[in-house]
Amino acid sequence: MISNIVEPVITQTNFPGLHLKNRGKVRDIYDFGEALLIVATDRLSAFDVVMNEGIPYKGKVLTQISDFWFEQTRDIIPNHLISSIVYDFPSECKPYWDALGDRSMFVKKTKPLTVECIVRGYLSGSGWIEYQKNKSVCGVRLPDGLVESSRLPEPIFTPTTKEEVGKHDENITFEKMADLIGNELAEKVRDISLILYHHGAELAEKKGIIIADTKMEFGLNDNGDLILIDELLTPDSSRFWPQDKYQAGRAQESFDKQFVRDYLLSIDFNKKPPPPALPIDVVLKTSALYLEALKKLSGRTLV
C-alpha cells in the first residue's frame, strides 16, 4: 500500500457535522454559509478521468502553491482566501485539524463564472494539436513555422467551457466567452488573466520553472466585484517545465501530472472511465515531481 511508504493518502474526506456541498475532480467542498472550506485531496484527474490511486502529498502541494501565489498576486486582484491555517477555521473543524492541515483553505463564497480562463505562453497540448490543423488556437491566429513547445510571440488567452466531472472542457473563442458572460466582464477577465500569467511566469523563470500555460477561475462577490478563486498556478492547473531541460520541437519533461498522462498514453488509455491502475513507480514519481515544484517555487517543504 502507498500509505505504508509515505504519509497516508487522502482520496476522499468525510467530516460528520460539516455540510458537504460538492466533490470536484480533486477537491471536497464544505459549506459554511457565507464561506466555504475547500479541501484538496490527493485525487488525480487525467484526461478528465479521476484515477483510483491518490498521489501522496498532492493535495498539500496544491494548497501550499496556491497559498503562495495568492499572496504574490493580491495586489493585482483580490482572491477568495480567508485563511489556510486550521486554527483560523470555524470551531466545528477542530476535530479534523490533522486531516485538514496544509491541504485546506477557508474561502469567501462567490458566484463562479461559467468559463475557465486559459493563458498559453507556449504551444503544447490541445493548442499544439489545433495549431497543426489551422495555425490558430481558439480563434487566435498564430505565425507559421511554430513547432511543438514553441514559445509564443506573446501569451494568448484561450478560454474553455466549464464542464461537470467526467465531461471534457471545450475550447471556445473569446467571442463565445463574451456571449456567455458579457463583453465587458469577458474583457476584464482576459486582461487580468494575462497580467497574472506574466507576473507568475516571470517569477517562476527566476526559480528555474517555465509555466507553459495555466488555467484560472474567477467569481463575482455579492457586490459584483471580480474575485480570483479555486487554485492558482499549480501543477494541476498548469504545465510546469524545468527551464534547464527545455528544447522546442518536442514534448517536455514536467513537474506536473503530465508524467501520468504520458503513462496513460503509453498503454493506449481510451480517456474514459473506468481508469486503469497506476503502477506504484508512476504514483511515487508523480508525488516527487509535485514536491519538487513546491520547493522550487516557494521554498516550502512538506517532507
Residue 164: per-residue pLDDT: 64
The whole-angstrom separation of Cα 89 and Cα 100 is: 10
Residue 206: per-residue pLDDT: 97
List the pLDDT tens digit at each of the 303 positions of the chain.
344 455 789 999 999 999 999 999 999 999 999 999 999 999 999 988 999 999 999 999 999 999 999 999 999 999 999 999 999 999 999 999 999 999 999 999 999 999 999 999 999 998 999 999 999 998 899 999 999 999 999 999 999 988 665 566 788 999 999 999 999 999 999 999 999 999 999 999 999 999 999 999 999 999 999 999 999 999 999 999 999 999 999 999 998 888 899 999 999 999 999 999 999 999 999 999 999 999 999 999 997
* Three cell numbers, residue 145: 513555422
pLDDT digits 0-9 by tens, 278-301: 999 999 999 999 999 999 999 999
254's CB contacts (< 8 A; 6+ apart) are 239, 240, 241, 242, 289
Domains of the chain listed by start with CATH number: 2-109 (3.30.200.20), 112-260 (3.30.470.20)
pLDDT digits 0-9 by tens, 10-54: 999 999 999 999 999 999 999 999 999 999 999 999 988 999 999
Residue 165: per-residue pLDDT: 56
Residue 85: per-residue pLDDT: 97
pTM reported for the whole predicted model: 0.93
The whole-angstrom separation of Cα 156 and Cα 160 is: 13
